[in-house]
Amino acid sequence: MSDYIVEMRHITKRFPGIVANDDVTIQVKKGEIFALLGENGAGKSTLMSMLFGMYEPDEGDIYIRGEKVRISSPNHATKLNIGMVHQHFKLVSNYTIAENIVMGMEPVKKVLGLFPAVDMKQANEDIRALSQKYGLEVEPTDVIENINVSTQQRVEILKMLYREAEILIFDEPTAVLTPQEIEFLLDIIKGLRENGKTIILITHKLEEIKKVADRCAILNRGRLIDVLDVKETSTRKMANLMVGREVSFETPKKEPEFGKEVLKVEHMTVVNQDHFEVVKDVSFTVHGGEIFAIAGVAGNGQIEVADAIAGLLPLHKGKVWLNGKDITEESIRRRALEGISYIPEDRQNYGIVMDFTLSENLGLRSYFREPFSRKGILDKKAFDSYAEDLIDKYDIRSGQGLRTVVRSMSGGNQQKAIIAREIEQESDLMIFVQPTRGLDIGAIENIRRQMIGERDKGKAILLISLELDEIMDCADTIGVIYNGKIQKIADARTLTTNEVGEFMMGVKRHA
């Protein structure tokens, strides 16, 4: 019997214009946590999609428990006890938790001792027992659309466990979670290892790898660079190997020079569908040349503040001013034209058209303007040369450059495309919601530089981030939101990370 539960030997996978995996060999031991690290587009998701039977390799072999296999479908992978939680979840939103978990493998009872029928009562009980065993509490009868992202992720994990998966693949599971939820998930993953499971974890967060992983494979542009023993490797070394150069962990930034007031929010109150006040009497201003960051634990109203400024949500009370003009009643499109760029949280639904090319997506906000359109006629050349510039400046990687259909791009590169398009609008106000989520370290460095560059050009920036490090590194002014209310607004230089943390928890009140 082989020492390895999973072996992928000399795997090559080509897509039009790109070798996504180029002669990659990884060997995973039973009961270890094996991390996969690499830049956006390095080929991590592709490699794992082959292990889960979604694609077949062009070259190379896969061995499971020492036996050579051709994994032809996710069903086949399931039979081999392989499970995967994808970058974007795949649950049926109007089904219950239990229905989603048992789908295709429902327990059956005999009605009148004769007719087989799905035994949902049994299913609910099974799932309750399973969730207790692994510390993944869920209410089996809750409907998916009513539960939050972190609970949905628990459901995905339970779904794998219900299918008796022994090899568990997690594709960027922490990208959608808050810092508290991340801690919890990492504990769950360690618990799974203690239960004898083997885990393959894709993440961009070096601290997470340091915390839980035993070994770490590094991919760069489709090639395997190295496999490291995590205990013996510093995060700096991992970062440098991954990017192929020295990475700086700090973003250089000069002293702010505030210009005129660009955004003014006055007594903003926003009410959700259940008539509950999610934003309560919030007021603040952002000047040209200022990065104003809203810090807060997820779900405290910060997204609603951003949506209301961009026009996606109506204000219940209060006013929004842009460059001295009241825009409270204006449409989303009007606000965009008057100078608001918006990088929303839900990028796949609001940011991008998946079946358009990269060039078309990059031009989406400008097509009706010169030089892209003259007297109503679109100039394709103008689109393309504009797109080429952005692809270069923001290092957007894909198989076929500007002709790539966005759906086929890696998650991180889709995101870089939205950021590029929005920054390049030269809007007076730029709203960034979680701009670096899901990006690799090199890309994060680049995006932060671009954001600070815009601020230095005199743009007003509203940054919403769950990552306190990002806020402390970038912000000139910090507003802390808790339970829909701004608790504190102060010059970032006068606040420590700890203080901001305390305001975020509602422990400390406005002095």
Ligand X SMILES: Nc1ncnc2c1ncn2[C@@H]1O[C@H](COP(=O)(O)OP(=O)(O)OP(=O)(O)O)[C@@H](O)[C@H]1O
Containing 396, the helix (H) or strand (E) segment is none
Q: Which of 7, 35, 46, 473 forms a contact with ligand X (CB under 6 A)?
A: 46
Bridge partners, residue 154, by sequence: none
- The entry of Mg ion, ligand X, none that residue 20 binds, CB within 5 to 8 Å by partner kind: ligand X
Determine whether 224 is exposed, middle or buried from the number of CB atoms within 10 Å of its CB (0-12, 13-18, 19+). buried
- The entry of ligand X, Mg ion, none that residue 283 binds, CB within 5 to 8 Å by partner kind: none
Q: Shortest distance, CB of residue 17 to ligand X, whole angstroms?
A: 8
Size of the residue set binding Mg ion (CB under 5 A)? 2
Q: DSSP character for 408?
A: G
Q: Shortest distance, CB of residue 189 to ligand X, whole angstroms?
A: 19
**Smaller CB separation from ligand X, 46 or 361:** 46
Q: Shortest distance, CB of residue 237 to ligand X, whole angstroms?
A: 20
Calpha distance 59→69 (Å, rounded): 13
Does position 38 interact with ligand X (CB under 6 A)? The reply is yes
- The entry of ligand X, Mg ion, none that residue 174 binds, CB within 5 to 8 Å by partner kind: none
Contact call for residues 170 and 159 (beta carbons, < 8 A): no
Q: Which residue is nearest to ligand X (CB)?
A: 412
Calpha distance 277→440 (Å, rounded): 36
**Smaller CB separation from Mg ion, 53 or 311:** 53
**Smaller CB separation from ligand X, 45 or 152:** 45
* Contacts within 8 Å (CB) and 24+ apart, 21-24: 21/46, 21/47, 21/50, 21/57, 21/222, 22/221, 22/222, 22/223, 23/59, 23/60, 23/223, 23/224, 24/60, 24/219, 24/222, 24/223, 24/224
Determine whether 323 is exposed, middle or buried from the number of CB atoms within 10 Å of its CB (0-12, 13-18, 19+). middle
Positive or negative: CA dihedral 450, 454, 457, 463:
negative
Q: Tell me whether strands 317-322 and 261-271 are parallel, antiparallel or unpaired.
A: antiparallel
Q: Shortest distance, CB of residue 431 to ligand X, whole angstroms?
A: 23
- The entry of Mg ion, ligand X, none that residue 399 binds, CB within 5 to 8 Å by partner kind: ligand X
- Contacts (Cβ under 8 Å, ≥6 apart) of 112: none
Does position 45 interact with Mg ion (CB under 5 A)? The reply is yes
- The entry of Mg ion, ligand X, none that residue 42 binds, CB within 5 to 8 Å by partner kind: ligand X
Provide the residue count of the chain. 511
The span of 41-49, 282-290, 296-304, 311-319 binding ligand X (CB under 6 A) equals 41-49
The span of 41-49, 105-113, 401-409, 477-485 binding Mg ion (CB under 5 A) equals 41-49
Q: Shortest distance, CB of residue 182 to ligand X, whole angstroms?
A: 17
Q: Shortest distance, CB of residue 397 to ligand X, whole angstroms?
A: 6
Does position 49 interact with Mg ion (CB under 5 A)? The reply is no
Does position 21 interact with Mg ion (CB under 5 A)? The reply is no
Residues 392-451 within binding reach of ligand X (CB under 6 A):
397-399, 408-413
**Smaller CB separation from ligand X, 418 or 492:** 418
Does position 328 interact with Mg ion (CB under 5 A)? The reply is no
Calpha distance 69→65 (Å, rounded): 10
Tell me the Ramachandran region of residue 31: left when phi exceeds 0, alpha when psi lies from -120 to 50, beta otherwise. Answer: left
The span of 175-183, 343-351, 405-413, 460-468 binding Mg ion (CB under 5 A) equals 405-413
Size of the residue set binding ligand X (CB under 6 A)? 20
- The entry of Mg ion, ligand X, none that residue 217 binds, CB within 5 to 8 Å by partner kind: none
Containing 322, the helix (H) or strand (E) segment is strand 317-322
- The entry of ligand X, Mg ion, none that residue 122 binds, CB within 5 to 8 Å by partner kind: none
Q: Shortest distance, CB of residue 172 to Mg ion, whole angstroms?
A: 6
Question: 276-296 burial, b if ≥16 CB within 10 A, otherwise e?
Answer: ebbbbebebbbbbbbbbbbbb
Residues 13-32 within binding reach of ligand X (CB under 6 A):
15, 18, 20
Contact call for residues 242 and 235 (beta carbons, < 8 A): no
Q: Shortest distance, CB of residue 106 to ligand X, whole angstroms?
A: 32
Q: Shortest distance, CB of residue 273 to ligand X, whole angstroms?
A: 32
Calpha distance 212→219 (Å, rounded): 19
Quick one: tokens of 94?
């109007």
Quickly tell me which residue has 């940054």 as its tokens.
463
Q: Which residues bind Mg ion (CB under 5 A)?
A: 45, 411
Q: Which residues bind ligand X (CB under 6 A)?
A: 15, 18, 20, 38, 40-46, 397-399, 408-413
